[in-house]
Amino acid sequence: MSQHDDKSPFDWDKWPFILPDGDPGEPEEDETWTSSYVRFDELSLRLSAEIGSVSAMSELGRKLLWGEDGYRKDPQEAVKWLGAAAEQGDAEAQADYGYCLQYGVGCKKDIKKAVRMLRASAMQGDDFGMGYYGYCLQKGIGCKKNPEKAVRLYRAAAKNGNNYGLYNYGNCLQYGIGCEKNPRKAVRMYRIAAKQGSSSGQNCYGFCLQHGIGCEKNPEKAVRLFRAAAKQGDASGQNNYGFCLDNGIGCKQNPEKAVRWYRKAAKQGNLTAQNNYAYCLVDGTGCRKNPRKAFKLFRAAAKQGDSSALGNYGRCLQDGIGCKKNLEKAVRLYRAAAKRGNLAAQMNYAFFLQYGICCPMNPERAVRLYRAAAKQGNSDAQFNLASCLERGIGCPQDIDKALFWYRKATEQGNTDAQKALQRLENK
């Protein structure tokens, strides 16, 4: 291949590789002459890639894509090299090139081509190719959904110690996606990935430790893992670490620090963090009150489908928090969030249905929603359900069941339920 061969993915004449005349000698402590020139190892790699070495193309593309070994990130140039190596059958390049095509990194999105590249990489046994292709199969991205096949690919990558495979295989085991649920085995996968420095593994292992999923609860260790993931820039880790600081879970309560981590995660587009940060802005927890900004954050997260944000957006419209009151729209938002299983929204929507506020009165449906939220532990829903059972609103009167739900709500500290329970028991 000549240096001006049109098939080269890189323009030789644009290489900034001019070296200083003579021996530059040892640089002084304050000298940064090397930053002005391509390093010798990079120059050698570029030369090898230019003369047609597929492995050099693949390696150079990967380093430019991820900024490995001190290389400056350049996604556009990376895609040129990765594409050239991928077309010649390099499995690692196919995985990275497929990733770029899938997410539009350094090139236009091309899902179909991405899947072809990832499948080719996976068939050659590349760990990342198997993981990325598995994810497409799990979610049905550019191909028919096949969670069972996805699990097999994740497992194969995980056996080779690949963090992406470990994390996704663990996730499938935790939730029973394409396989039987096995929380204990999921925790083992997360733990291995966490020990290898995976921020996703650290975050998921921390979540299991916080909630006692597949292991004993250990909130202190969970916090350490969340912090490690957060410091690596993992948005979910930042949100979870902020939540622990906000509520004093496994660490000393620190609302101000919590807000800083919520804000970091929210800037990365984490919907839960946007919702949590907005909630702090409403109450002035760890920051100055700013209801208008909170309203905007709730709305932004709600538009992307976050169920908690949908409910909170509705609450803002109901009470005029950072916006004008709009009960009709609030009801629609509560209904949408309730359909997605949000407990607070189920309770709020049921209240509107019970009294026919901005919607047709439907006490029977209200009771069904109260019961759904009550069974999941919402104390306000438990109180409202008990009240309906006591009075026969939307359901047959049943004092014994009413007492049961008043007691459940009382156990959670609901003072209204406590008063109602005392009133009934003293009759």
Nearest-10 crossing angle of helices 111-123, 91-103: 160
Which run of H or E residues covers position 314? helix 307-319
Q: What's at 307, amino acid-wise?
A: S
pLDDT (tens digit per residue) in 196-213: 999 999 999 999 999 999
The confidence band for 247, taking pLDDT boundaries of 50, 70 and 90, is very high
Report yes or no on whether pTM surpasses 0.85: no
What is each CA distance from 31 to 19, 41, 43, 69, in whole angstroms? 16, 20, 21, 21
pLDDT at 42: 85
Report yes or no: 421 and 388 within 8 Å, Cβ to Cβ: no
Answer whether residue 427 shows pLDDT above 80: no
The confidence band for 29, taking pLDDT boundaries of 50, 70 and 90, is very low
Report yes or no: 276 and 262 within 8 Å, Cβ to Cβ: yes
pLDDT (tens digit per residue) in 45-95: 999 999 999 999 999 999 999 999 889 999 999 999 999 999 999 999 999
Could you give the residue ranges of the DSSP H alpha helices within 160-270?
163-175, 183-195, 199-211, 219-231, 235-247, 255-267
pLDDT at 7: 43
Report yes or no: 169 and 196 within 8 Å, Cβ to Cβ: no
Report yes or no: 239 and 233 within 8 Å, Cβ to Cβ: no
| Non-local CB neighbours of 237 within 8 Å, separated by 6+ positions | 199, 202, 203, 206, 225, 226, 227, 228, 229, 230
Q: How many angstroms separate the CA atoms of 33 and 27, rounded?
A: 7
What is each CA distance from 123 to 61, 129, 143, in whole angstroms? 21, 8, 16
What is each CA distance from 368 to 44, 45, 338, 356, 373, in whole angstroms? 70, 66, 12, 15, 9
Kindly tell me the sign of the dihedral angle through the C-alpha atoms of 312, 313, 318, 319: positive
Q: How many angstroms separate the CA atoms of 337 and 308, rounded?
A: 7
